[in-house]
Amino acid sequence: MVMRASGIIKSSATASGLPVTLVSSASAAVDPVPDAPGVGSLPKGLAILEALARADAPMGVTELARELGMGKSGVHRLLRMLCDLGWVREAQGRYACSLRIWEVGMRVADRLDLRQVAAPFLRELADATSETVHLSILDGIDVLYVDKIDSPQPVRAYSRVGGRAPAGCVATGKVLLAYAEAARVAEASAAMAPYTPRTIVDPQELEAELRRVRQQGYAVNRGEWRASVCGLAAPVFDARGEVVAALGISGPADRLTQKAMRAFEPAVTQAAHALSLALGHVRAQAPA
């Protein structure tokens, strides 16, 4: 029997997280697709998706048309279609792949990926803390849970793989926002709502909190999304030195107290550091 209330799950048995695969984008070049009669929309649309997946930043219509050898009007028409279907997102006239590509890819891919690399570190952290462990990424201004291990304890924080939360008020989300571009932080700050009395809704206070996260190397959630749930998380860096995920724990506020979080901080930061090394982050420094 399972009861959910205020972000807490009470159960007589543990629940395991669903399997998830995070697919990395292909790096191979794509041959130009001519914008000529007789060439169907499907291959041209796929070429656009592949170009966006390879790009380090969102691309404009002219940029895509030049790279793919297509007409700008045709590229724009296909981009609008892909946006309407949820495969592409647009911001200020520039386009990027949405996470729908990942959501499809995670069902069919069977190769080394972030989740597979992270699995032993999630297990070690779960064993060390006996709390629920999350591996999260940033999607827009939300945090997306891509993998988890449930706490073995009968009272534990409730979440699910594929679930979301506002990034500014959970520990893994604060970590990801702390290393995000300023525009993303501003967007998240503008969207903040007082979910609990502890939610940080003032933009200056949130910016100060994110500075503190960068300085200390971890973030805490003191009941800011669900009053009864607290959390602690640290950043995961890749070989390029970019933060690609956050690794953290969450649990009931009456168990994951300030004292408990101080005690668990070394385990969380060391697990995130070890995962960063496994992903090739050679500049990673071990937490003190």
The widest CA-to-CA distance across the chain, in whole angstroms, is 68
Amino acid symbol at 209: E
pLDDT in tens, 28-64: 334 444 444 334 789 999 999 989 988 889 999 999 9
Topology classification of domain 112-278: Beta-Lactamase (3.30.450)
Domain spanning 41-106, CATH class:
mainly alpha
Sequence ranges of the chain with CATH classification 3.30.450.40 = 112-278
Q: Pick from 42, 43, 64: which is nearest to 53 by CA?
A: 64
> Judging by beta carbons within 10 Å of its beta carbon (0-12, 13-18, 19+), is residue 97 exposed, middle or buried?
buried
pTM of the model: 0.61
Q: Are 85 and 45 in contact (CB under 8 A)?
A: no
pLDDT in tens, 67-118: 999 999 999 999 999 999 999 999 999 999 998 887 776 554 444 478 888 9
Rounded CA separation 60/90 (Å): 9
pLDDT band for 7, please (50, 70, 90 cuts): low
Looking at the predicted structure, is the pLDDT value of residue 263 above 60? yes
Sequence ranges of the chain with CATH classification 1.10.10.10 = 41-106
